[in-house]
Structure 1
Amino acid sequence: MSTAASPSRLELYWRLVRMHRPIGILLLLWPTLWALLVASGGAPDGYTLFAFVAGTVLMRAAGCAINDYADRHIDLHVERTRDRPLTCGLIEPWEALAVFSVLAVVAALLVIPFNGLTWLLALVAAFLAASYPFTKRFLALPQAYLGIAFGFGIPMAFAAVLGEVPSTAWAMLAANVFWALAYDTEYAMVDRDDDLRIGIRTAAITFGRFDVAAVMVCYGAALGLLALAGWLEGFGVFYTLGLAAAALVATYHYTLIRDRSREGCFRAFNHNTWFGAAVFAGILLEYLVP
């Protein structure tokens, strides 16, 4: 009787950092690309684009590793996460910490050519990424903290290109906080029953029976703040169309989450890449079309 071969260490690490599920990368990458386009007037230089895309991939992977380390005793009790490599004992906790450390160091090396403000913001970003997993123990809305962590590429991009962080960057970061609250509440709605049983905090639990309404309000706030950023930059019709497309995406998500099914909420979460892509397309067209 044959048995399947055990996965290699490389395969296990690949699963640990969720490279087989790229939605997390995209949710970090879109806001970073928004910022790079705006800060550079639509034409970021080659190294800056490479450094921020590679840094986004590395820090998302590092965040997954430290998240699984922090949640290794919790994930065992959650249906969706109990088969993660660390949770089911295929790798050791020290390995997750080692993977996090190596990825964070490599990401930090990418920042070396930039200015001191970018270095400072990179340190803040690293702290946010490392500390977010632990906020579920005491914050009522850890998803808001996630929004800051996931959006910190925005002020970093402006700092790297302009040497300063203007009002547009802060408006975009605030928009990202509300967008993250929306999509990660959808994600938390998938695990709500398990999370209630084991006693951790999520936005889906905090919002309670108003969860669907809260998600839609957060989408609205994100779009409003993105509109403010566009007004600050003097954007016109193409950006407006991009925001309108993002609003249609958010409306579609309402149809997926209104009955609070696990499948619908998870589909809505995964579909959020199109919200980010719509905003990106609007910004890009502002610079490409005379």
Structure 2
Amino acid sequence: MQGNAPTPDGQVADAATGNWVDTYAPTFARPYLRLSRADRPIGTWLLLIPCWWGLALAILSDGQPRWEDLWIAIGCAIGAFLMRGAGCTWNDITDREFDGKVERTRSRPIPSGQVSVRQAVFWMVLQCLLALAILLTFNQAAIAMGVLSLLPVTIYPFAKRFTWWPQIFLGLAFNWGALLAWAAHTGTVGRPAIMLYLSGIAWTLFYDTIYAHQDAEDDELIGIKSTARLFGTDTARWLKYFLIGTVSLMGLAIIDAALPEASVLALVVALSGPWAMGWHLAWQLRGLDTEDNAKLLQLFRANRDTGLIPLIFLCVALLL
């Protein structure tokens, strides 16, 4: 919090002061929007950006942009907002006992009593149905990918109970849009899309390990596993590996997609994207302090810009 500004009733601890939900949303809707993390939009960005990567790379691959692609981009944005909200609601339903024991999460709507479990289930189903309506406007391949995405989304909240690598399951869920958007444009899932997907998973391991360090002490007390706890003081070294994996796999995906259709200039511009993204990840590494929760949250949120960097280069390459 900044200064002595009053805290809105029900505000979640890690939401930014003055966010639109706590400031402008109708009072009755605030608990549900908080449940969907609408007051913390970074998650929507992190779910959406791989979708836009996949779409841009698919267009670069076949060199055939269509007006339909504009709707795919918009539909992915709406769908990312809805499915991120549904996924977060599911996560809070399954984690309600744990969230009440962790300082950062005990103010969430379910453990704080703003929303009942039954109300949360209804809200989750409603968001899923709205997202399904968007999905059904895409082709059959994309619809199939959308349905399959429910598997990693369903499993993720339980991963921290049985593996030290729950961030992999988050990566599987959060980067599925790279496959879906590629399929929405091409009607199939190609090798470049798979490599892009793997790149996104490495990126998720990078940013969510940073995020998980905020709860490392509480997680140890209640027996929750994470890469932050697994790596401990060796986190910086592991993050370097994830950085290299992110950049290398994205570079390979671009080369595989661009050849032989794209021009040399377009290929060079597109490849500059993961290179610049790598420098942004390196900047995060230089500022890493696993004992400073405010800094950890700042670095985590910076990953919206990290993901947008290669997207900008890909879009420029499409014009060449």
Normalising by the smaller structure, the TM-score range is: over 0.9
What aligned pairs does 1:16-165 form with structure 2 within 5 A after superposition?
16-41=35-60, 43=65, 45=68, 46-165=70-189
Which sits farther off after the overlay, 273-282 or 255-264? Answer: 255-264
Contact map agreement 2:86 2:128 (CA 8 A) in 1: yes
How big is each residue's C-alpha offset from its partner over 1:92-137, in whole Å with a ceiling of 9 and x where there is no partner?
0111111111111111111223333222211111222232111111
- Asked if the contact 2:179–2:194 (Cα under 8 Å) also holds between the matched residues in 1, the reply is yes
Checking the alignment, whether the CA contact within 8 Å between 2:211 and 2:296 is kept in structure 1 is: yes
Counterpart in 1 of 2:273?
242
Query: Among the aligned pairs, what percent are the same residue?
Result: 30
CA shift for structure 1 position 5: 7.3
TM-score in terms of structure 2 length: 0.85
Maintained 8 Å contact 2:54/2:178: yes
1:11 aligns with 2:26: no
Residue matched to 1:228: 252
* Structure 2 unaligned spans of 5+: 1-7, 11-25, 259-265
Q: How far apart are residue 191 of structure 1 and its match?
A: 0.8
Contact 1:27 1:272 in 2 (8 A): yes
Q: Is the 8 A contact 1:256 1:265 kept in 2?
A: no
Which one of the candidate residues 276, 290, 295 is aligned to 1:264?
A: 295
1:163-203 CA-to-partner distances (Å, cap 9, x unmatched) read 11010000000001100000000000111001111101111
Give structure 1 stretches of 5+ with no counterpart: none
Partners of 1:181 and 1:144 in 2: CA distance: 6
CA distance in 2 between partners of 1:276 and 1:47 (Å): 21
For residue 244 of structure 1, report the CA deviation from its aligned partner.
2.4
Structure 1 residues 162 and 195, CA, compared in 2 at 3 Å: closer, same or farther? same
Equivalent-residue separation in structure 1 for 2:151 and 2:257 (angstroms): 30
Q: Deviations over 1:136-174 (max 9, x none)?
A: 111220101111100111111121111110100000000
The amino acid of 1:265's aligned partner reads: L
1:204 aligns with 2:228: yes
Q: How many residues were matched structurally? A: 286
Shift of 1:63: 0.8
